């Protein structure tokens, strides 16, 4: 393969967006679902539905959880924050309606209430190496470094909840603000951040950075097609909490073996980005010549100057350096080599 044809214009808008994430501060548009759960039994109610501990959260703390299916697969990934006033749930927009309807079914049975705040709350995400500096300048207080912490601040005359959330390997923060005030807060962020090189960036640059960081995206790299542990989402699972839907399957896999396949990174030798679902065929070992996985996301990495991908490999093919042939139907698209994640370390 001619690697020279892969190089992209270093002065392109996409490259500039990408550099903002890696070296400065990027402002991202995140169309997330936002749900608010309140009431006397809110914590107990949620704790019985998700894979991680909710009942230990103190005000200002959050946790990554999964809503599993009965088969232990991923119905939705979610961050739950205890604001001290209520529980704020942030999840991918593709799961907003599904999870809201699921939670609402239980409301008549207990003293808790569920509100879909997706339209009334705006999420402004700051991602990048200097994002903590910008948060400190905006708030006048040191930025919280630990993941899933949340606190209230006043910005541009509005109350803003700021949560730590590294979405693509670099330091990152999500700002939750009432929709009517979002434009003023965004303007304040961009104006204050000029000295730090703040820039609004598109989804393409974010996708490159999050693949380099080995972060799966729901509906692409993770979802109801995959068991939670196959998608390397152990951070969303507690093995000491009480019962929840899908717990038996997840616990059995964790304690007695390993998933049939696992999410991994791949260096690609290709002339063009292979589509989602491109099949991996093992070159050597006991799986030689057989289908051994599939790709889910592929991008051109500016950091590595090479095409890379996320995807799933059979449990017999998980060693770094394992090589595969890429196929779509009968057509051979190139080669892939399995590598440890992340591709790029912050």
Is residue 230 within 8 A of residue 261, CB to CB? The reply is yes
Rounded distance between C-alpha atoms, residue 104 and residue 311, angstroms: 34
Q: Could you give the residue ranges of the DSSP H alpha helices within the chain? A: 13-23, 42-47, 96-104, 131-139, 182-192, 203-212, 247-256
Task: Specify whether 107 is located in the same domain as 130.
Answer: no
- Please give the C-alpha separations between residue 10 and each of 163, 251, 304, 326, in angstroms, as whole numbers: 33, 47, 13, 28
**Over the stretch 196-210, which tens digit does the pLDDT of each residue have?**
999 999 999 999 999
- Distance from the first to the final alpha carbon of the chain: 29
Rounded distance between C-alpha atoms, residue 69 and residue 178, angstroms: 32
Say which residue the tokens 């889910």 belong to: 296
Residue 5: per-residue pLDDT? 38
- 217 phi, psi to nearest 5 deg: -110, 130
Q: Has residue 130 been placed in a domain?
A: yes
- Please give the C-alpha separations between residue 48 and each of 68, 155, 279, in angstroms, as whole numbers: 11, 36, 37
**Domain of residue 14, CATH code:** 3.30.1360.120
**Over the stretch 78-93, which tens digit does the pLDDT of each residue have?**
999 999 999 999 999 9
Task: Specify whether 39 is located in the same domain as 161.
Answer: no
Task: Specify whether 54 is located in the same domain as 188.
Answer: no
The total number of structural domains in the chain stands at 2
Rounded distance between C-alpha atoms, residue 310 and residue 308, angstroms: 7
Containing structural domain, residue 202: 3-30+120-212
**Over the stretch 265-312, which tens digit does the pLDDT of each residue have?**
999 999 999 999 999 999 999 999 999 999 999 999 999 999 999 999
Is residue 332 within 8 A of residue 326, CB to CB? The reply is yes
**Over the stretch 163-184, which tens digit does the pLDDT of each residue have?**
999 999 999 999 999 999 999 9
Q: Has residue 22 been placed in a domain?
A: yes
Judge whether residue 107 has pLDDT over 90.
no
Task: Specify whether 110 is located in the same domain as 126.
Answer: no
> Of 212, 231, 249, which residue constitutes the final position of a domain?
212
> Of 197, 212, 227, which residue constitutes the final position of a domain?
212
> Of 212, 237, 260, which residue constitutes the final position of a domain?
212
**Angle, alpha carbons 344-164-89 (nearest 5°):** 115
Task: Specify whether 64 is located in the same domain as 109.
Answer: yes
Is residue 79 within 8 A of residue 148, CB to CB? The reply is yes
Q: Is 119 helix (H, G, I), strand (E, B) or coil?
A: coil
**Domain of residue 44, CATH code:** 3.30.70.1400
Q: Has residue 338 been placed in a domain?
A: no
Q: Has residue 46 been placed in a domain?
A: yes
Task: Specify whether 125 is located in the same domain as 200.
Answer: yes
């Amino acid at each position: 393969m001619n690697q020279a044809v892969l190089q992209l214009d270093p002065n392109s808008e996409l490259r500039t967006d990408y550099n903002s994430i890696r070296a400065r501060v990027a402002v991202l548009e995140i169309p997330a679902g936002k749900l608010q759960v309140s009431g006397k039994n809110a914590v107990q109610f949620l704790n019985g539905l998700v894979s991680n501990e909710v009942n230990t959260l103190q005000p200002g703390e959050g946790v990554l959880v999964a809503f599993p299916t009965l088969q232990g697969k991923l119905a939705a990934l979610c961050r739950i924050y205890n604001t001290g006033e209520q529980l704020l749930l942030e999840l991918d927009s593709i799961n907003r309606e599904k999870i809201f309807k699921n939670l609402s079914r239980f409301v008549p049975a207990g003293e808790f209430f569920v509100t879909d705040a997706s339209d009334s709350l705006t999420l402004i995400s700051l991602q990048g190496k200097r994002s903590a500096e910008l948060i400190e300048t905006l708030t006048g207080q040191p930025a919280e470094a630990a993941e899933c912490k949340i606190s209230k601040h006043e910005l541009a005359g509005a109350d803003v909840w700021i949560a730590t959330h590294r979405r693509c390997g670099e330091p990152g923060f999500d700002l939750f603000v009432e929709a009517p005030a979002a434009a003023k807060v965004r303007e304040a962020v961009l104006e204050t951040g000029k000295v730090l090189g703040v820039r609004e960036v598109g989804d393409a640059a974010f996708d490159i950075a999050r693949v380099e960081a080995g972060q799966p995206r729901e509906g692409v790299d993770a979802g109801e097609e995959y068991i939670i542990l196959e998608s390397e989402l152990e951070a969303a699972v507690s093995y000491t909490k009480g019962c929840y839907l899908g717990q038996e399957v997840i616990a059995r896999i964790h304690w007695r073996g390993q998933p049939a396949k696992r999410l991994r990174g791949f260096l690609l030798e290709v002339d063009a980005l292979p589509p989602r679902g491109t099949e991996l065929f093992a070159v050597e070992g006991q799986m030689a010549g057989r289908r051994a996985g599939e790709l889910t996301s592929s991008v051109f990495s500016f950091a590595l100057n090479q095409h890379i991908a996320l995807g799933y490999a059979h449990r017999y093919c998980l060693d770094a350096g394992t090589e595969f042939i890429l196929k779509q139907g009968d057509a051979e698209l190139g080669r892939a080599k399995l590598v440890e994640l992340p591709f790029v370390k912050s």
